[in-house]
């Protein structure tokens, strides 16, 4: 009698376990279906965007990051003219940005930031010889870049968000760098290592 009861309990437990795993399989199937639907929807919205982006999109976040870094490096060397030409290139990179692969939230963020960033790049481009004014725009451009990178990614290279407490009339300002060492674009050769590393963006 004891044995029969014991056997029953084991049987019931095994059955319950089976049911559990069956349920899990069923849930997973549903998950897969949901994912497939999402993918199908994403696919169709990409197709719609393609017609628009095909005409004008030639640059990616990678080009934007690379050009921004050229601009930043010109400032670390106090080279106003190099900063100006990089500024103009950055403006072009924003204008030709390819939105085709962006998700809806990424595209929304890009729309919010790109016009502002592009305007700062343009001012830097048009103010060769006036590095003080160029650097004022670089404060705001760098903020925009930090937002962009947060949402669109780092373009394939590890980046660093640095902070200089002396820039911006002592209010402080951030910049994005490709080097772990501090090379300050706001103070240039006067105080090249002023600032702190705030964040590594992998």
Positions that interact with Cu ion (CB under 5 A): 123
**Could you tell me the smallest distance in angstroms from the CB atom of residue 92 to Cu ion?**
18
User: For residue 157, what are its two tokens?
Assistant: 């290279």
DSSP conformational letter for 158: -
**Could you tell me the smallest distance in angstroms from the CB atom of residue 120 to Cu ion?**
8
**Number of residue whose CB is nearest Cu ion:** 123
**Could you tell me the smallest distance in angstroms from the CB atom of residue 131 to Cu ion?**
12
Give the CA count within 13 Å in the CB-facing half-sphere of 1.
0
Closest to Cu ion by CB, 76 vs 127, is 127
Closest to Cu ion by CB, 82 vs 98, is 82
Report which of 149, 144, 147 is spatially closest to residue 119, judged by C-alpha positions: 144
Asked if 195 contacts 165 with a C-beta cutoff of 8 angstroms, the reply is yes
Using CA atoms, how far residue 141 sits from 20, 133, 135, in Å, is 54, 13, 9
The residues, any chain, with a CB within 8 Å of residue 135's CB and separated by 6 or more, are: 75, 167, 185, 186
Closest to Cu ion by CB, 168 vs 179, is 168
Closest to Cu ion by CB, 120 vs 161, is 120
**Could you tell me the smallest distance in angstroms from the CB atom of residue 160 to Cu ion?**
27
CA distance 106 to 111: 9
Closest to Cu ion by CB, 135 vs 183, is 135
**Could you tell me the smallest distance in angstroms from the CB atom of residue 45 to Cu ion?**
37
């Amino acid at each position: 009698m004891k044995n029969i009861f014991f056997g029953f309990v084991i049987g019931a437990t095994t059955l319950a376990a089976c049911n559990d795993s069956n349920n899990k399989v069923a849930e997973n199937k549903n998950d897969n279906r949901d994912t497939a639907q999402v993918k199908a929807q994403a696919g169709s919205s990409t197709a719609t965007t393609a017609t628009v982006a095909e005409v004008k999109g030639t640059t990616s976040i990678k080009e934007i990051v690379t050009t921004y870094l050229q601009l930043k490096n010109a400032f670390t060397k106090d080279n106003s003219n190099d900063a100006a030409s990089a500024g103009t290139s950055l403006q072009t990179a924003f204008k030709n940005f390819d939105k085709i692969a962006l998700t809806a939230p990424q595209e929304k963020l890009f729309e919010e930031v790109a016009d502002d960033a592009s305007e700062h790049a343009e001012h830097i481009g048009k103010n060769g010889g006036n590095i003080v004014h160029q650097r004022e725009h670089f404060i705001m451009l760098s903020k925009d870049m930090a937002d962009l990178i947060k949402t669109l990614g780092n373009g394939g290279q590890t980046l660093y968000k640095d902070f200089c407490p002396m820039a911006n009339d002592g209010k402080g300002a951030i910049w994005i760098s490709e080097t772990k060492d501090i090379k300050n674009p706001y103070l240039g050769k006067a105080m090249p290592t002023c600032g702190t590393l705030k964040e590594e963006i992998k």
